[in-house]
Amino acid sequence: MASSNQPLSLARPRVRPPLTHNGDQQPPSPLTPFPSSRTYSLNWQDPRPRSTRKPDTPTPDFDLWSKYASNLASTGKLTQAEETYLSCIKQMRSCLGPDHEHTLLVMRTLADVYTRMRKYESAEQLYSECAERGRRSLGREHPATLEALAGVAEVYVATRRYEKAESVWMHLIPSMKKVFGESAEKTLVQMRRLETSTSLFNDGQHLLAEKSFLSLIDHMKLYFGANHERVLNASRTLAEMYVKTKNWERAEEVYSECAEVSRHKLGREHPTTLDALAGLAQVYISSERYENAVTVFQYLIPFMATTFGEVSPQTQAQVEKYYQAIGSIIRLDTAVSSTTTTVSESESEVPPPPDFQVWNQYSMGLMKNGDFTRAEDSFFACLTEMKVYLGPDNEDTLSVSRNLAGLYVQAKNWEKAEALYSDCLERSRRTRGNENPGALDAQAGIAEVYVATNRLEKAVAVWQHLIPSMARVFGAASDKTLTQMKGLARVYVALNQVAEADDVYSELLEVMRTADQKGEEFFTILKELAEVRIKNGQYEP
């Protein structure tokens, strides 16, 4: 019995979770240390939601993962960076949660990559998601929320939705002043962007807009660096302002500087470089300096074809402007000649076109030497001139186009080769009929691309119509016809259609016997026929 002198304790006793002992009938006393030689199992449930528990697998190093993606983006490998960021975000959402601050940071970085890739729809969607999640989980004035809203405004400016951008800025800038301070770099950048929106131009405040934009560029150079892509984009926008005010000298100066810096920093085929050159060419056209514009176009168009595609809207727009500049030069020369009475008739004539045959041979020489990049540039420049002087459907023009397609075949750029061969085929058929030599050569090129890309059934379908036409146009024993027959026979072998291969080889040998072509190639074909018949079980080797 307890002594009455001891005070009564009102403290609530500490209770352990219920334990089940594996060896005894009674559990040990809570005051007795757990025996080290026996094991116990907890019979209580973890009250935390599963999504917040520590995962069984080790958590990836997201910081290292995102830095790797950032390095890919900084070196211009934007597609690989996009894939890496997407994989990282998927894991972060699983391990940290979709509303975690670090997850939102990587999502914003991916949105920046989308902006650089000009995937503005994807960038806007991702920035908006970051802003909404940040507002809901971190707060309206959290830095992550504000930076996501700044990204949304940037996309609106890039897509020329200035009113929406201004609406975002009107709510964003007061919050940035409150969070970062009025003199903070992030706040100043957004304030300058608001000041330089196109509403200033619409109100005729050109001088104020120019001053504000120059101040913005100075701040951006301090924040990002003088050669950063964002600084170059802002400078191009300033040049567009000069174009609107017809300040051609300043526009030319800014565009030229942007193009030069971008070429060294980002590469000659980067969209920022090409946009600056296109703007410079437009300045020359607007200021009626057409010869300068032609020089820029001759440099620009081959790179645009490489970056965006030869038949892309961006490339075709520059090609059209190039034709206009050439036409303007010819019209000016004609006008000067018609008003001058002292010049002779020979002096008033338009200069003769370049020697396209020599130009084509030079390009072919580059291709044979393996200098594919220079050969492509030379072919493309030659074709551009030929389309001006001879027309796009001229047979000589189409011949050079087929040579360029052959270059793409050697460079294993199958998509470009097929597109160019198909374009040549369509133009030849439209202007000279189905069985003209140019159309047949283009079909042979398409069949070659089909074989190289393992579309053998399509190649067979082309040859079945092509070979009879070639026999009628070039002759059954011509090298072109025999080459296509050999290709068809070998594809039949690859498709395991030995009976069809036997028929084509037999016909091929008969044609060669009739034409008395019994050289080394004849015996090679004879050997291949024997192998087909052995495979078909017609006789033993």
Q: 344 burial class (0-12, 13-18, 19+ CB within 10 angstroms)?
A: exposed
CA distances from 252 to 60, 110, 236, 458, 535 (A): 50, 34, 11, 51, 71
> What pLDDT score does 355 carry?
72
156 or 5: whose pLDDT is higher? 156
pLDDT at 2 over 60: no
**What's the pLDDT tens digit per position in 94-119?**
888 888 888 888 888 888 888 888 88
Q: Give the pLDDT band (50/70/90) at residue 21.
A: very low
Phi, then psi, of 266 in degrees rounded to 5: -110, -20
d(CA 302, CA 318): 10
Q: Which of 3-7, 147-151, 338-342, 535-539 has the highest mean pLDDT?
A: 147-151
> What pLDDT score does 328 carry?
75
Element (H, E) at 19: strand 19-21
Phi, then psi, of 42 in degrees rounded to 5: -85, 130
Side-chain half-sphere exposure of 266, counting CA atoms within 13 A: 23
Q: Which two tokens stand for residue 342?
A: 């002292």
Smallest CA-to-CA distance from 384 within 308, 299, 445, 306 is with: 299
Element (H, E) at 40: strand 40-42
d(CA 378, CA 302): 9
Smallest CA-to-CA distance from 155 within 175, 131, 138 is with: 131
Coil, strand, or helix at residue 237? helix
Coil, strand, or helix at residue 246? coil
**What's the pLDDT tens digit per position in 336-386?**
555 444 444 444 444 556 677 777 777 888 888 888 888 888 888 888 888
- Which stretch of 126-130, 239-243, 300-304, 406-410 has the lowest confidence by average pLDDT? 239-243
Q: Give the pLDDT band (50/70/90) at residue 216.
A: low
pLDDT at 27 over 60: no
For a pLDDT cut of 90, what percent of the chain falls above it?
9
> What pLDDT score does 340 carry?
47
CA dihedral 364, 370, 373, 377 (to 10 degrees): -10
Q: Which residues have CB under 8 Å from 1's CB, separation 6+?
A: none
**What's the pLDDT tens digit per position in 434-485?**
888 989 999 999 999 999 999 999 999 999 989 999 989 888 888 888 899 9
d(CA 301, CA 428): 24
**CATH 1.10.1040.10 is right for the domain spanning 60-160:** no
Residues linked to residue 19 through DSSP beta bridges, in sequence order: 42
Q: For the chain, what are the domain ranges?
A: 60-160, 469-541
pLDDT at 524 over 80: yes
CA distances from 100 to 104, 124, 150, 421, 475 (A): 6, 20, 19, 52, 74
> What pLDDT score does 461 carry?
92
C-beta atoms surrounding 207 within 10 Å: 10
Q: Which two tokens stand for residue 421?
A: 């061969």
